[in-house]
Structure 1
Amino acid sequence: MAKLSQAELERHLWGAADILRGTVDAGDYKQYIFGLLFYKRLCDVWDEEFEALLAETGDREEAADPDEHRFHIPKEHRWEAVREQSTLIGQRLNNALAAIEDANLRLRGVFGDVDFANQDRFSDALLEKLLSHFEKHRLRNADVPADMLGDAYLYLIKMFAEGAGKKGGEFYTPRSIVRLMVEIIDPRPGMSVYDPTCGSGGMLLEAVQYLKDRGEDARTLSLYGQEKNFATWGIAEINLFLHNVDDAFIAKGDTILSPKRYDPKAREFVEGIGAYDRVLANPPFSEKVWGYEVWQNGDPFGRDTYGCPPKGYGDLAFVQHMLASLKDVGMLAVVVPHGVLFRGGAEGRIREAMLAADVVEAVVGLAPNLFYGAGIPAALLVCRKKKPAERRGKVLMVNGDATYKPGKAQNFLADEHVRRLAEAVHAFADVEKLARVVPVEEIAANGHNLNISRYVQTGADAEAVDVAAEVSKLQDLIAKRNEAEAVMFGHLKRLGYVG
């Protein structure tokens, strides 16, 4: 069977989405495509492992032994068994996915609540067409290596995010921004990395890729995360599994109201705050319902060190959770809306307390329209509990509003932009029209305002407007319009259309 190129694989998988488009709601069909893709991959890899073991041992029973495989698929629920039936296909699929979850603790819950037996959505004819499409190409490791399939899966996530608009941002952060964040926090072999709002797991995987690109052992990383949306949690688990990342632990639940940490002795998640070397996240912007009613009486987990955020803006609750989750020598990077940098009230008091504690190391302003469904510019907040001696009492302000490449639907960061911004953070030095090291005393004198353009202006700043000249131009245009109207009404009067 001919091997697929990366582009061919991506077209093949996106073709499956085309089959469902119009039949299943756009916001839902990604779950079905991801579920079927994962099911096909599991079955194909199981067959591949079975054939290799059979060739080695000559014993079919031993080759089918669950202990000999990375995962177990009951015989009656393998792909070829489901394909033997031409009616009630959806129910057979449901049974197969449930049986795989039951047989593999690691895969428990990954298929979510997809229901292929819903006849209003999935007729046998439609499912036959969909399964036939997936059968066009084998998805064994020999045909499609893990990195290749993982990248194709990320491509699908990106495509679904683009189609979902604002909602797409709930489970996908553009990869260039993730890469920038990982470059900034610079995870090292043996470290623990944590994403408290992990979405589809892209940030954790980028940390793995970062070490791979440097020729370092990514398997020594310990990866942890939490995700509130159950369906998105399943996407993350599949994403990690397809990338052959087995040592990642993703909890389900609300990070602010019910934070989870992994207990290695009990081999399960328990309520509480962990301690990690590197923390990174893109929390929901200005969450309205985030847990204010609980925090206003004191956070039960003690994360409100710098204060309680306002009722309608949960951004700094996530930031404080991340700070509480850091080891003393740890480092974090978090995406925040610009309002967090300058809004007053409770947020102003929290900023003041954070600056007084000297935990803010850098603020990196990003260009507008980089995120799905959010045209407003955002910023990265970089924090440490204990900053290096030479950086204490200072905050690096980086203005990246001119550092981007324009796109049709949205802007993006090219490799050179990621490199330039990351290098600016690491250098922690003044760079004309890009970065400036600002003493905390100066920020305090400005009312603890972290608005980046207050400290660093770039070539993208608007030129000063000559108001008198612009008013003169406007008056000239109004005069010309009035003159044209007088001529037009003169013609209409002669023709008898007006009195």
Structure 2
Amino acid sequence: MSRQSDHITQKLWSYCQVLRDDGLSYQDYLEQLTFLLFLKMADERETLTGEEQAIPEGYRWSDLASAQLEGVELELHYRHTLEKLGREGGMLGLIFEKAQSKIQDPAKLRRLIVDLIGAEDWSSMSADVKGDAYEGLLERNAQDVKGGAGQYFTPRPVIDAIIECIRPQLGEVVMDPACGTGGFLLAAHEFLKGLNPDRDQKRHLRYEALRGVELVPNVSRLCGMNLYLHGIGPDAAGDHDPPIETDDALRDEPSSHAEVVITNPPFGKKSSITVVNEAGESDKQTITYNRPDFWTTTSNKQLNFVQHVKSLLAIHGRAAVVVPDNVLFEGGAGETVRRNLLKECDVHTLLRLPTGIFYAQGVKANVLFFDRKPGAKDPWTKQLWVYDLRTNKHFTLKTRRMTRADLDEFVECYHPENRQDREPTWSEDTPDGRWRSYTYDDLLARDKVSLDLFWLRDESLEDSANLPEPQVLAQEIADDLRAALEEIEGILADLGT
């Protein structure tokens, strides 16, 4: 992040502490900033280009920032503005759908408009500066364990390593069916910009190359704004559809396909909805998706997302999916999905991620890489290469954060230039090597076709001198307990308790 974008992030974030005294969460504050930033930049763009903005007269930044509006009158006008713009289409609809004012103090709203948003000349900043500043706010929001959006935020070092392995190309469509705040799509955009696109390719990159779906409207608007600030998607007055759609990606078969699918589906095994009966009692009901393109019907949403990603891919398309451990070893539907995935796709790489790297804690995750292939008699998977970045690795979000350098060996072993030239680092003579392969027959011979593969000696189990620092060890224990509790809650939900 540049010094200018870091300064803006610090300035905007500092006022959040004032609003928290009024009961606003980080998420609420970030939403209000999103609404006001969009209005301000639409106003600046009209001044800069002379083109009339799509925001209706009477509901523009100049109306909101008018010196005549004070107190209750300002608060009321702001509410009416959000309601009006929420009924519009395009980018306006994406950003303002179901928008509500959460700022109860008109004086603080006025200060937010005049002293913070209004004091900056946003049109003079590059897309990188504006985008980096906003992404900095999103990451700070994710760090708030209680009320933040950690479950929608994938660590940037992991994203960058995945993109470097997948290597999207100009002209391809990159899709994220659980896009959260847009980390994967932005990293793909940055990678594609570095390939020196020509004029037509730049246009495709802005309007057509990136597509995302997000279930939660509040997160969808943050993603839309994040992309918009990086110069992705149409202006409010554009003829193109927004790059983000607010929907349940699992509901229907995909209407189009993508050459690249990269995603980190939401944590938690079960998809459920809360139902309130006539007596006012609430109950959670498990959701299953009966889709003809799925190999099996299950309430496990991670298994559903793996099946959905396969359906989203064009033939010879490439995918990288972050999945929890249960996807690798769970029986029943899990075994059915793994058998079919190995047969119909080339499942070529598995990255075992370390614990302590996600803001949403208690997660043991992996990245599964596979390519979709045309129908064939023989299975497409010949060899699965596994990189173990978990055993004897200890990271925390505070004292030992993962960096991109921690994934350098994995990317080198992945050999994105030519996967046929891979060489293992593990052998009988080098038992500490983290990179080895398993044949299709090896995998099929395992109980339930489990892909939960590990071979390294866990030093902490053999020698107390090799134990990590107490705070790291305590965090790992807490993560294990959270994961176990989630499993138990899933069982209780199935039992109707």
Deviations 1:233-292 (A, max 9, x none): 111111111111126522221111245xxxxxxxxxxxx442110001111123312697
Please name the residue that 1:249 is paired with: 243
* Cα distance in structure 2, aligned partners of 1:363 and 1:124: 53
Please name the residue that 2:271 is paired with: 289
The residue type paired with residue 403 of structure 2 is: A
For 1:332-347, what aligned pairs fall within 5 Å after superposition? 332-347=319-334
Deviation of 1:226 after TM superposition, in Å, equals 1.0
Q: Is the 8 A contact 1:280 1:333 kept in 2?
A: yes
Q: Is the 8 A contact 1:196 1:227 kept in 2?
A: yes
The reply on whether 1:315 has 2:306 as its aligned counterpart is no
Deviates more, 1:83-92 or 1:218-227: 218-227
Greater RCO structure (CA 8 Å; 6+ sep):
2
Q: Is the 8 A contact 2:175 2:211 kept in 1?
A: yes
Rate the CA distance shift 1:4–1:400 in 2: closer, same or farther, 3 A: closer
Deviation of 1:170 after TM superposition, in Å, equals 3.2
* Cα distance in structure 2, aligned partners of 1:408 and 1:335: 19
Computed over aligned residues only, the root mean square deviation of the Cα atoms, in angstroms, reads 3.0
Please name the residue that 1:86 is paired with: 70
Deviation of 1:366 after TM superposition, in Å, equals 0.6
Q: Is the 8 A contact 1:191 1:278 kept in 2?
A: yes
User: What secondary structure sits across from 1:431 in the alignment?
Assistant: coil
Q: Is the 8 A contact 1:398 1:452 kept in 2?
A: no
Please name the residue that 1:449 is paired with: 450
The reply on whether 1:72 has 2:62 as its aligned counterpart is no
Deviation of 1:380 after TM superposition, in Å, equals 0.3
Deviation of 1:406 after TM superposition, in Å, equals 3.6
The residue type paired with residue 90 of structure 1 is: E
* Cα distance in structure 2, aligned partners of 1:422 and 1:208: 19
For 1:13-162, what aligned pairs fall within 5 Å after superposition? 13-26=12-25, 27-49=27-49, 63=50, 65-66=51-52, 71-83=53-65, 84=67, 85-87=69-71, 88-99=73-84, 105-116=90-101, 121-135=103-117, 137-142=119-124, 144-162=125-143
**Consecutive unaligned residues in structure 1, runs of 5 or more:** 50-62, 260-271, 467-499
Deviation of 1:408 after TM superposition, in Å, equals 4.8
The residue type paired with residue 222 of structure 2 is: I
User: What secondary structure sits across from 2:250 in the alignment?
Assistant: coil
* Cα distance in structure 2, aligned partners of 1:408 and 1:103: 40
Bigger Rg, structure 1 or 2: 1
User: What secondary structure sits across from 1:194 in the alignment?
Assistant: strand
* Cα distance in structure 2, aligned partners of 1:151 and 1:375: 28
**Consecutive unaligned residues in structure 2, runs of 5 or more:** 235-241, 273-284, 427-432, 465-497
Q: Is the 8 A contact 1:200 1:239 kept in 2?
A: yes
The residue type paired with residue 325 of structure 1 is: L
The reply on whether 1:348 has 2:339 as its aligned counterpart is no
User: What secondary structure sits across from 2:266 in the alignment?
Assistant: coil
* Cα distance in structure 2, aligned partners of 1:180 and 1:149: 24
Please name the residue that 2:220 is paired with: 233
Deviation of 1:327 after TM superposition, in Å, equals 0.8
The residue type paired with residue 231 of structure 2 is: N
Rate the CA distance shift 1:464–1:21 in 2: closer, same or farther, 3 A: same
Please name the residue that 1:11 is paired with: 10
* Cα distance in structure 1, aligned partners of 2:297 and 2:400: 34
Match of 2:414 among 410, 425, 445: 425
* Cα distance in structure 1, aligned partners of 2:216 and 2:394: 32
* Cα distance in structure 2, aligned partners of 1:326 and 1:13: 39
Q: Is the 8 A contact 2:83 2:98 kept in 1?
A: no
The residue type paired with residue 72 of structure 1 is: A
Deviation of 1:449 after TM superposition, in Å, equals 1.6
Deviations 1:77-119 (A, max 9, x none): 3333323211321222233345556676332241243333x6x
Deviation of 1:417 after TM superposition, in Å, equals 2.3
Rate the CA distance shift 1:109–1:135 in 2: closer, same or farther, 3 A: closer
Rate the CA distance shift 1:406–1:72 in 2: closer, same or farther, 3 A: same
The residue type paired with residue 195 of structure 1 is: D
Please name the residue that 1:203 is paired with: 184
* Cα distance in structure 2, aligned partners of 1:77 and 1:464: 67
Please name the residue that 2:389 is paired with: 400
The residue type paired with residue 445 of structure 2 is: A
User: What secondary structure sits across from 1:462 in the alignment?
Assistant: helix
Please name the residue that 2:462 is paired with: 464
Please name the residue that 1:409 is paired with: 398
* Cα distance in structure 2, aligned partners of 1:333 and 1:207: 12
Please name the residue that 2:210 is paired with: 223
Deviation of 1:25 after TM superposition, in Å, equals 3.5
Please name the residue that 2:476 is paired with: none
The residue type paired with residue 162 of structure 2 is: M
Please name the residue that 1:494 is paired with: none
- Taking every aligned residue pair, what percent have the same amino acid on both sides? 23
TM-score by length of 1: 0.76
The reply on whether 1:381 has 2:373 as its aligned counterpart is no
Deviation of 1:465 after TM superposition, in Å, equals 5.8
The residue type paired with residue 329 of structure 1 is: H
TM-score by length of 2: 0.76
Rate the CA distance shift 1:303–1:286 in 2: closer, same or farther, 3 A: farther
Q: Is the 8 A contact 2:6 2:136 kept in 1?
A: no
Rate the CA distance shift 1:407–1:213 in 2: closer, same or farther, 3 A: farther
The residue type paired with residue 123 of structure 2 is: N
Q: Is the 8 A contact 1:403 1:413 kept in 2?
A: no
Q: Is the 8 A contact 1:367 1:377 kept in 2?
A: yes
* Cα distance in structure 2, aligned partners of 1:285 and 1:410: 24
Please name the residue that 2:478 is paired with: none
Deviation of 1:369 after TM superposition, in Å, equals 1.2
